[in-house]
A and B are shown apart, each in its own frame.
Chain A
Amino acid sequence: MGLTGIQIFKLLPKKNCKECGQPTCLAFAMQLAQGKTELSKCPYVSDEAKAKLAEASEPPIRGVVIGTGDEQYKIGEELVLYRHDKTFFNPPLIGVLFKDTEDDATIDARLKNFNEVSFERVGYILKAHLAVVKNESGDAGKFTALLQKIKDNTKKPIMAMSDDVAALEQAAGILKGTKGVLYAATEENYEKLVDIAKANELSLVLKAPIEKVAELTPKIVEKGFKDIILDTEARDAKTMFQHNTFVRRLALKKKDKAYGFPTCNLIYEMTDDEIKEATIAALAIAKYGGIIVISDCKPEVILPLAIQRLNIYTDPQRPMVVEQGIYPINEPDENSPVIVTTNFALTYFIVAAAIEASRVPTWLVIMDVEGMSVLTAWSAGKFVADAIAPFIKKVGIADKIKHRKIIIPGYVAQISGELQEELGEDWEVVIGTREAADIPAFLKEYVAKNQ
């Protein structure tokens, strides 16, 4: 990463013994530079070389691990400014604020949502990730009581937030073993907080003006602590966008290690308007936020925000796919129509939404064509008669219906004859619509005709 193949080569033993699986040390160095092999494959590197290489091969933005078990997440370790250049790797955590000045009913309702609001979408779970407990009261007792309560009632990681070092020290004791986050170290108190974070295995937000970061993070790293997250004190959308962009560019383009950490954006401080807050949070997701804190955990807000997180962090090289299989929509029965299409997630979403809108009970049968759309899959020879016919027989739709009619997308009307032949006498192939938007009208007419 940091070093070129030649620079790495200079650190190798130059025995050319091939034990690493490469013909020469130089070849090994080149592979290493491209991240295609691991240093441990060479048994002869010196410890000194190892240390140098390890430092140089550290990612330009530190990966910080937060939480444990099923609720463990990593933020940071990003490599690009634009998702099309490769992909964004570690999606930000959606943090939900709990203040120690709020009444029990409010806290309990939010905590219930925090634990329970969850949606499944193309195999991913959409939800909030991090409880952010804020010492708004200034009373350490209230703060730690709330912290303890939330810790006892969630498996998700917690960020403890206070201006009071003593309160944070108590909080750290409560969070020990959870890989939670402390907020925040400042120029004044960072030495003490780094010790606390280290002793309790927590990560630590550094709250400092962006120009001060360059001074402070090296001092913290010198103390042997690297799990740093940056809050550059941006408290409006414009400053947030700019700071996040500066931090990302400094780390990646200027190779400035002092800025090589994930960011923390306190969106709830930027507005009191619910819609505006979520919209700014969405901007933070697109533009380099690491921890994104909002004021509440309503399902109608978490759903679109979590979709944003999923969409922006989708690997542009890999299409989103849904699982092959039979999807019942609007409670179909043995007389309901059967529509077949491909497993490209967008195709599935749009077709499923159109069927749903029609209110016509329908079986949607999704075929795995490696996430291609209908036309692409057809031209790649994957959504063609001699592939679809065996799939239809294997998928088991015949057990769910009395009739033997299947509807194929209008875009592959040309395969209907051949598919008919492949399927055999008892099946009937019906040509459906080209556009999903026309499905409701089509289905209504189809059902009327086939009654």
Chain B
Amino acid sequence: MAFAIPKENYAGKVREIVIGKGDKAVKIGGYDSMPLCTFEGTWPNKPVVAMEVYDVAPELNAQGWPPATFEAFKDVINDPGAWAKKCLEYGADLICVQLAGTDPNAQNKSAEEAIEVVKKVKEAVGDIPLIIWGSNNLEKDQEVLPAIMEAFPNENWLFGPAEEGNYKKITASAIGYGHLVAGKSSIDVNLAKQLNILIENLGLSLDKVVMDPTTASLGYGIEYTYSVMERISLAALAQNDDKMQNPFINDLAKEAWKTREAMLTVEEEPTYGEQNTRGILMESITAIDLIAAGSSILIMRNPTAVKVIKELINELYS
């Protein structure tokens, strides 16, 4: 008897989303099977890797910046444009401008300063699409993100995170200035769906929306993110729920690199072994979990982790 692949039937399909414009535009989504199951569905677009550029130069050994991440960028860390170019050299599909410095509890950088950073990045990378990520401060993000949208109209960039507490302003500006929105909900299938509906009701087509289900790191809740993404994917594909048929974005590098497993030096914790490999694996394993759970955009930091993950994406989706 010939071997028959045990295939699943899916009723639904995830929306194809275009970020940026022209030749360099990046497409994600458009798939109609569970993640990695290319034997029973069509995956016109592979997951992509966005590498981070920060608005404020981090210091060596500050949270998230042990040698493994700092050294890779130390020559460009004060120059967002050069930093972005470096990311492209490392194989980034797009650039994610992280506006952590705008947080009132951090450097409280102004919207104008953020616009300057974005301008430098844009000048450096040309038409490579950008993801602009706020500081997770609800108030400040709804001030800064719309200001950047207005300063760079109709670039069709992706802006996030838009949460229940600030999605209105961010969405309205995205509609007005021709951009996309990443809606962030807190690890819950129904909340994710509800936010999509709220955003759509404001008038933004769901063809312009990606979902951030709240991303946790390996060791610090990855299993919650993993399972909520699997459940949302099943709702989208098996149950054909068209309010959940949007691709995922995962802001994972911040989470993976702030863990004690990534930050502790060999002197501080001799039993943990060599620090660089340990940290890189915290990032790459978090990333492979998210790919297995259906991520379309992975926001990453360390070049070695990016290289391995890009290789694996190419193999798994070949």
Contact = CB atoms under 8 A, between A and B. Distances in A.
Nearest to B280: A275
Interface residues of A, number: 52
Interface string A229-255: 000000011100110011001100110
The B contact surface, by secondary structure, is helix
B288 to A, nearest CB: 5
Nearest to B276: A300
Contact of A304 (B271, B281, B292): B281
A296 B3 CA distance: 35
Contacts of B275: 300
Given A238-B316, A250-B6, A300-B281, A275 B218 contact: no
A84 B227 contact: yes
Nearest to B271: A299
Contacts of B282: 304
B288 A282 contact: yes
Nearest to A433: B105
B288 A246 contact: no
B78 interface: no
Contacts, number: 141
B93 interface: no
A276 to B, nearest CB: 5
A275 B5 contact: no
A377 interface: no
A275 B305 contact: yes
Interface string B1-34: 1110110100000000000000000000000000
A283 B1 contact: no
A276 B274 contact: no
Given A275-B304, A301-B273, A357-B263, A314 B223 contact: yes
A208 to B, nearest CB: 12
B219 A311 contact: yes
Contacts of A314: 223
A365 B315 CA distance: 47
A300 B316 contact: no
B226 A312 contact: yes
A17 B218 CA distance: 54
Contacts of A249: 6, 8
Interface in A315-369: 316, 346, 349-350, 353, 356-357
A303 interface: yes
B307 to A, nearest CB: 8
Given A84-B230, A279-B281, A311 B273 contact: no
A107 interface: no
B79 interface: no
A353 B260 contact: yes
A74 B311 CA distance: 33
A69 to B, nearest CB: 24
B258 to A, nearest CB: 8
Contact of A274 (B37, B220, B263, B277): B277
Nearest to B270: A299
Interface string B238-272: 00000000000000000000111101000000011
20 contacts: A82-B234, A84-B231, A119-B271, A211-B2, A236-B315, A246-B5, A249-B6, A254-B6, A273-B308, A275-B280, A275-B281, A275-B304, A279-B308, A287-B292, A298-B274, A301-B278, A303-B278, A304-B261, A311-B218, A311-B223
Given A299-B272, A304-B219, A311-B223, 5 more contacts: A214-B1, A246-B5, A276-B312, A282-B289, A299-B271
A-B pairs with the 6 shortest C-beta distances?
A: A300-B273, A299-B273, A211-B3, A300-B278, A249-B6, A304-B281
Interface of B: 1-3, 5-6, 8, 36-37, 39, 63, 105, 216, 218-223, 226-227, 230-231, 234, 258-261, 263, 271-275, 277-278, 280-282, 284-285, 287-289, 292, 304-305, 308-309, 311-312, 315-316, 318
